[in-house]
């Protein structure tokens, strides 16, 4: 899609990936970007960099993807939709009924509003959680669904709802295009404490700031593909611009980093002399998940460029300049 002069709605646009995508969109010659967000996890502070852009519109009538009439109103005249709204992994574990309502029924509501308003294209926020633990590495887009979590199940359901409704309406006056992006371990400024995997970065930095040896669960050999949130934003815009449809893409670097190596990197970067402490893992997550970036590079012309150390520096700088906001996010998790 040629996005110049077009209008976009970003569902969940005040969250981590959503707010960075809004910023990336507004670097382009777009006509309007509407943020549709209930501010449960996202915040207006996340949009501070672009809040004065006249092309930015925050839907203010009660942005909830369970309210189909509001979705219908927000999508009128929209050329493209980015869908980020979802409950995260541990919420889905604790509250599967709510996860069904939001991640599955809510995604259907978004798709229905897209179809009813003749929106041209959707970029759907999926997750590498659909893959579960690696059966083979690197994990390409044909890697089998090895997921065992309800969060991953809800993303698989979302992917297949996109595909089935795309196939149903293809060639009709209700046709829409879509691309699905499977983000690996996203980190960066505006990060909170909710991510089951990524929260480890914030918690290690908390421990280092308080003179406490960082705690590693297990032996620290668990390895992941850490991708900078700004690169994810670029991937979203690339997917909206792309000519492909009915395809899913990894958003990843292809680089392996163990939790032990990550923690040691943070110790070095903060100038700490503390050593790691190890505890038996009380809850097991995926142990290995490294993606293949080849398909996104070939079909979307997207490559994640941010080196991990540079990206972590940007996160540390953001934490330092947003102490009150970070404290609020920490307290929000501790109170739950």
Distance, CA of 291 to CA of 136 (rounded, Å): 10
Q: What's residue 327's pLDDT?
A: 79
pLDDT per residue as tens digits for the range 165-212: 999 999 999 999 999 999 999 999 999 876 666 688 999 999 999 999
How buried is residue 100: exposed, middle or buried, by Cβ count under 10 Å (0-12/13-18/19+)? middle
Q: Which of 3-17, 163-177, 224-238, 284-298 has the lowest mean pLDDT?
A: 284-298
Mean pLDDT of 315-319: 95
Distance, CA of 336 to CA of 162 (rounded, Å): 33
pLDDT per residue as tens digits for the range 244-287: 999 999 999 999 999 999 999 999 999 999 999 998 876 557 88
HSE at residue 315, side-chain half, CA atoms within 13 A, is 29
Distance, CA of 7 to CA of 3 (rounded, Å): 8
Average confidence score pLDDT of the chain: 94
Which residues are identified as catalytic?
Answer: 151
Secondary structure (3-state) at 19: helix
Q: What are 331's two structure tokens? A: 């307290």
Distance, CA of 309 to CA of 315 (rounded, Å): 10
Q: Which sign, positive or negative, has the C-alpha torsion 35, 41, 42, 44?
A: positive
Query: What's phi and psi for 99, nearest 5 deg?
Result: -65, -40
**All structural domains of the chain:** 7-185+226-251 (3.40.50.720), 188-225+255-291+306-328 (3.90.25.10)
Distance, CA of 67 to CA of 102 (rounded, Å): 11
Distance, CA of 249 to CA of 232 (rounded, Å): 11
With a pLDDT cut of 90, the percent of the chain lying above it is 85
Q: What's residue 138's pLDDT?
A: 96
Q: What's residue 282's pLDDT?
A: 62
Q: What are 14's two structure tokens? A: 């005040």
Distance, CA of 232 to CA of 17 (rounded, Å): 7
pTM for the whole structure? 0.94
């Amino acid at each position: 899609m040629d996005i110049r002069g077009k209008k976009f709605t970003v569902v969940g646009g005040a969250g981590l990936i959503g707010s960075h995508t809004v910023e990336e969109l507004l670097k382009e010659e777009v006509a309007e970007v509407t943020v549709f967000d209930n501010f449960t996890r996202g915040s207006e502070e996340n949009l501070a960099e672009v809040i004065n852009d006249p092309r930015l519109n925050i839907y203010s009538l009660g942005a909830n993807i369970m309210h189909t009439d509001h979705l219908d109103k927000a999508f009128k005249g929209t050329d493209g939709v980015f869908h980020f709204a979802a409950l995260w992994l541990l919420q889905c574990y604790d509250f599967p009924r709510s996860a069904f309502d939001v991640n599955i029924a809510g995604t259907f509501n978004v798709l229905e509003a897209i179809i009813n308003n003749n929106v041209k294209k959707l970029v759907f926020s999926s997750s590498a959680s659909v893959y579960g633990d690696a059966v083979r590495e690197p994990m390409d887009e044909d890697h089998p669904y090895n997921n065992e979590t309800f969060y991953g199940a809800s993303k698989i359901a979302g992917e297949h709802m996109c595909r089935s409704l795309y196939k149903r309406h293809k060639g009709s006056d209700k046709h829409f295009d879509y691309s699905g992006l499977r983000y690996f371990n996203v980190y960066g400024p505006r990060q909170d404490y909710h991510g089951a995997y990524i929260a480890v970065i914030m918690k290690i930095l908390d421990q280092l700031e308080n003179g406490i040896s960082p705690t590693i669960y297990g032996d620290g050999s668990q390895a992941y593909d850490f991708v900078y949130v700004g690169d994810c934003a670029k991937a979203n815009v690339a997917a909206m611009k792309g000519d492909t449809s009915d395809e899913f893409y990894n958003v990843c670097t292809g680089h392996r980093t163990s939790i032990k190596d990550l923690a040691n990197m943070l110790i070095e970067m903060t100038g700490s002399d503390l050593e790691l402490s190890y505890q038996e893992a009380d809850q097991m997550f995926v142990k290995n998940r490294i993606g293949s970036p080849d398909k996104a590079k070939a079909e979307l012309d997207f490559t994640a460029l941010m080196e991990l150390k540079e990206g972590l520096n940007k996160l540390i700088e953001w934490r330092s300049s947003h102490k009150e906001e970070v404290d609020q996010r920490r307290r929000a998790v501790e109170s739950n």
